[in-house]
Structure 1
Amino acid sequence: MATQHTPESAQVLLLAAADHNLHVLPNLLRQHTPNVADPETLRTPLHNAIASLEKVEPQPPSAEKLKDAETTIRLLLENGAIWNTLDKEHETPGCIAYRLGYEHLYEMMVDAGVRCEMILNAIGGWEQIDSDAEEEGEAEGTVVVENDGEADDIPGLVSIDSSIGSIKNSDKMDEDGVIVDAPEADSEKNATKEKKSHPEDIAAEISNPDSTLSASEVLEYNATTETPSYLSSTLTFTPHSLLDSNRNAVMMDWESSVMDLTASLLLPEENTTNRTVLNVGFGMGIVDKAFEKGKPTRHIIAEAHPDVLKKLREDGWYDMPHVTILEGKWQDTLPIFMLENPDVTLGAIYFDTFGESYDQLKQFFSEYVVGLLDPEVGRFGFFHGLGADRRICYDVYTKVVEFDLLECGLDTNWVEVDLPELKTEKWEDVKRKYFNLDTYRLPICTFGA
């Protein structure tokens, strides 16, 4: 049964976290969920514990204060504090730690995110949940943390659940202000550059940090780039991009430097024994053209979109004797390919699809890469856009995917690539950015010794 408490006592929790008051906090956390937020700033106790270290005086915080802050953060996390809740400035607690330069606190938040996502992985939380109208806040890749209603009757506070990206108005909110669910950083594990799409007003609102969209609107918006929607959309090839019918960027030419390096690392010159290549997701053909520079003996391309297949034919890929085109979804074509070619092994495999979730990437490397990759010289890579909207999400999902790959017997070497500044004009023809960082982590995976 939830413990009843007053707005004043919950405010004490927010203040105690900011003060790192370790005498008061344990008792408060026995009575309150840590997932409440100030209605003005939307900062949770976890935000406050880190933000209070901001250097407002010439002297930095003492070592004792930093130790108390670390203990406070650990205590809040142990009691169920959500790692990726956004405040009004669109920052997670980890974002604040990174901005203030507290690397060890930032790493604590990254580790908390990794633990959360690995638990979701273990319980199947990354699968799309079929929800009725009353459960629309439970978006893909989420798990709802029960708050036992503890904040439901507290005027002037914000109650947070853990539905990733869900933003909904509470049916108990009154004119005095109260109970709304706070948004969280987008933790969609989008290995496949799943850029969202929706009518213009919805798309613009979703990109707005102060968005007030309902959960159902967010879910409808997210659904428009799922594979069935994407495959039925009309694509537009421009000199610099490939766009779907809603102007979501399927691929852009700024990726060329990344793809050129990827191809050279996956199929290096020293690999003279197996120069067979598989690429899943042709798009603009950037990585396939880069692979061709390495003169593969056989080049297999899996592509599902009819417009891209048409372009492949127009550009002569079907006429190349060493090229095999697998037409259709890779989930359908690769099993047939493996049955028809039981002895084939591949020197290089690359994966870069659109409109698919992390589950599909994980299925691909756990079921197909392990069966097709040459155990001696084979290398596997993929476009790493997991959580690329903000640094902490990118850092979390870098570790998550590395753990999952290791579980399949694959070691991962990350090559950091400094990107030329992605200026605004690079994105002016598309709905929204799908990569928002200065550095790209390029994965090269091989079977461990």
Structure 2
Amino acid sequence: MENSSRIIENLRLNIAELVDYAGNGHPGMGMSSAGLGLALWDILIKDTGNPDWGLRDRVIFSGGQGIVLQYMLHYFEGSISKEELLTFRKKNSRLPGLSEYRSYPTVESTTGSLGQGIANSVGMAIGLKHIKNNISKVYCVLGEGCLEEGISYESMSLAGTLQLDNLVVLYDSNKTSIDGKTEETFRDDMKSRFESIHWDYEHVENGDDVNEILNILRSNRTKPLFIEVSSKIAKGSLLEGNPVTHGKPLGRDVTEKMPGYDKNQFLQIFPETRKYFKHHNQKLKEEVLFRNKLFSVEVENKQMDAPLVVPEKGENNKNLTLIEQSSRIMNEFAGINNFLVGSADLSRSTKVKIHDSENLSKENYLGRNIVFGIREHAMSSIATGIYLSTGIKVVVSTYLSFSDLMKNSIRMASIMKIPNIYVLPMMESP
């Protein structure tokens, strides 16, 4: 990519200026991940005039504080005006400081709680496979915080098992968290970790090498792809590498010393940036036309998000237990409704299984029974992701006593008004 270093400088400067202007926020991750963000934007296919376009690629900032980078990329492409950008983190703004589902039309999920975004992304990838959308990709940007959360292992392990080759994770490896350098808390070997759970692993040593990142993103894969991109928090500023920049403005005395700063041009767009995005916007229009021609049938979320059809009242068999009755009714609904079901290794106990359908697997993504394994937390968040990418409702189940592990993902689904269905029977007596 021509002039990528100059565009990256522009991203970092503007992120620092915007957070300074807001008086609070998270400049660090947006600045460290500017290189991977630019590469991602170059390859991401979306229709700027139709954010619900069914054949779009999905992007999730699982580290929700990085959403400021997405806003700035939208500003450069012309989707967000300067006037609206100045409402960042203000009351009633469409641009909150952390990712909030549909606060801005292209924000695909609420991800303020670390780890939820990657599990949502796994669900999105499963959903797209299930509806036979084999062209759209799911891109997830995360940092150390998400990878330290247990839900990341649960969900990414399942993604490897299901061979979700439409899922790409970009890891902003800046080795920094709020309390300091992560060498005291997080020393995992990423290559060993992800290859052991059936992912492809790549490492980019220079986080500003956009062309290297692009070459990896364009490569054909048969597994989910994890790209570790090394960088430094608040890169490009005098506070580069300083943990304080995670959640605090750099301050004007630091920002005005950054490359390209001009006191007479606030939130400026460099000529090189303007030239690139003019060409990029035209290329996007061509890509949208190409995908629409390639796929004659487009499925949009709204078309699939239909209310459940209630079957005619069946016979009440009093010899069945309550769980068995529930299963019978669910299967009657399944015969005339499109939804998926799954359990955390308890389908024989909770009876949450569609009898006339196969399991969803890497050999058969059309199956309606998802075998989640013992992954309660991920299960609930993956169900949310499936709905987000397809509008298909998901029924998940485990024992009520185990549902404590699901509370955070249930809360996040509730915040987003996602109609997941939870079947949580009491544990059977021995």
TM-score, normalising length from structure 2? 0.29
TM-score, normalising length from structure 1? 0.28
Q: Which has the higher contact order (CA 8 A, sep 6+)?
A: 2
Larger Rg, first or second structure (1 or 2):
1
Which protein is richer in helix relative to its size? 2
